[in-house]
Structure 1
Amino acid sequence: MIQDIEPCRFSNAYKPEAPDGASFLLCYSGRKVLVRKDGQDGIAFPTFQEMEPYTEGLYEDYTYLFSIDGQRFYLGEGIGFYESGDLTLEDTEIFRTAMPRHLAFAGITGAQLYRWYSGHRFCGRCGSRTEQDGKERMLKCPSCGNMEYPKIMPAVIIGLTHGNRLLMSKYANREFKKYALLAGFAEIGETIEETVRREVMEEVGLKVKNITYYKSQPWSFSDTLLLGFYAELDGDGAITLDEDELALAEWFEREDIPVTATGLSLTNEMIMRFKNGEM
Structure 2
Amino acid sequence: MIQDIAPHKYDNAYKPVPPEKDSIALYYEKRAVLLKRTKDEIIYPTFADLERLNDDIYEDYTYLFSIDNQRFYLVREINLEPLADYNMENIEIFREAEPQYRAFAGITGYQLYNWYESRRYCGRCGTRMEKDKKERMMFCPECHNMEYPKICPATIIGVRNGNRLLMSKYAGRSYKKYALLAGFVEVGETIEETVAREVMEEVGLKVKNVTYYKSQPWSFSDTVLMGFYADLDGDDTVTLDEEELALAEWFEREEIPVEPSRDSLTNEMIMKFKNGEI
Aligned equivalent of 1:35: 35
Cα displacement (A) at 1:83: 7.4
Rounded to whole Å, the distance in 1 between the matches of 2:81 and 2:190 is 47
Between 247-256 and 72-81, report the one with greater CA deviation.
72-81
Cα displacement (A) at 1:258: 0.1
Rounded to whole Å, the distance in 2 between the matches of 1:179 and 1:108 is 22
Aligned equivalent of 2:230: 231
Contact 1:216/1:225, CA 8 A, preserved across alignment: yes
Aligned equivalent of 1:22: 22
Contact 1:34/1:81, CA 8 A, preserved across alignment: no
Contact 2:96/2:262, CA 8 A, preserved across alignment: no
Aligned equivalent of 2:204: 205
Identity %: 66
Aligned equivalent of 1:50: 49
Between 72-81 and 2-11, report the one with greater CA deviation.
72-81
| AA matched with 1:27 | Y
| TM-score for the superposition, normalised by structure 2 | 0.99
Aligned equivalent of 1:261: 260
Contact 1:215/1:227, CA 8 A, preserved across alignment: yes
Rounded to whole Å, the distance in 2 between the matches of 1:73 and 1:81 is 18
Rounded to whole Å, the distance in 1 between the matches of 2:11 and 2:46 is 19
Contact 1:182/1:200, CA 8 A, preserved across alignment: yes
Contact 1:10/1:68, CA 8 A, preserved across alignment: yes
Rounded to whole Å, the distance in 2 between the matches of 1:147 and 1:247 is 40
Rounded to whole Å, the distance in 1 between the matches of 2:83 and 2:214 is 42
Contact 1:66/1:72, CA 8 A, preserved across alignment: yes
Deviations 1:193-213 (A, max 9, x none): 010000000000000000000
| AA matched with 1:67 | S
Aligned equivalent of 1:272: 271
Question: Measured at CA, do residues 245 and 221 of structure 1 come closer, stay the same or move farther in structure 2, by a change above 3 Å?
Answer: same
Q: Give the 3-state SS of the residue equivalent to 1:195 in structure 2.
A: helix
Question: Measured at CA, do residues 20 and 84 of structure 1 come closer, stay the same or move farther in structure 2, by a change above 3 Å?
Answer: closer
Rounded to whole Å, the distance in 2 between the matches of 1:57 and 1:80 is 11
Rounded to whole Å, the distance in 2 between the matches of 1:83 and 1:209 is 59
Contact 1:83/1:89, CA 8 A, preserved across alignment: no
Q: Give the 3-state SS of the residue equivalent to 1:112 in structure 2.
A: helix
Deviations 1:9-38 (A, max 9, x none): 000000000100000000000001000111
| AA matched with 1:8 | H
Flag structure 1 segments of 5+ consecutive residues without an equivalent.
none
Rounded to whole Å, the distance in 1 between the matches of 2:207 and 2:38 is 47
Rounded to whole Å, the distance in 1 between the matches of 2:173 and 2:11 is 33
| AA matched with 1:94 | I
Structure 1 position 140 matched with structure 2 position 139: yes
Rounded to whole Å, the distance in 2 between the matches of 1:183 and 1:211 is 14
Question: Measured at CA, do residues 255 and 110 of structure 1 come closer, stay the same or move farther in structure 2, by a change above 3 Å?
Answer: same
| TM-score for the superposition, normalised by structure 1 | 0.98
Cα displacement (A) at 1:65: 0.1
Cα displacement (A) at 1:81: 3.5
Aligned equivalent of 2:159: 160
Cα displacement (A) at 1:122: 0.2
Cα displacement (A) at 1:82: 3.8
| AA matched with 1:3 | Q
Aligned equivalent of 1:61: 60
Deviations 1:207-240 (A, max 9, x none): 0000000000000001000000000000000000
Cα displacement (A) at 1:62: 1.5
Flag structure 2 segments of 5+ consecutive residues without an equivalent.
none
Q: Give the 3-state SS of the residue equivalent to 1:98 in structure 2.
A: coil
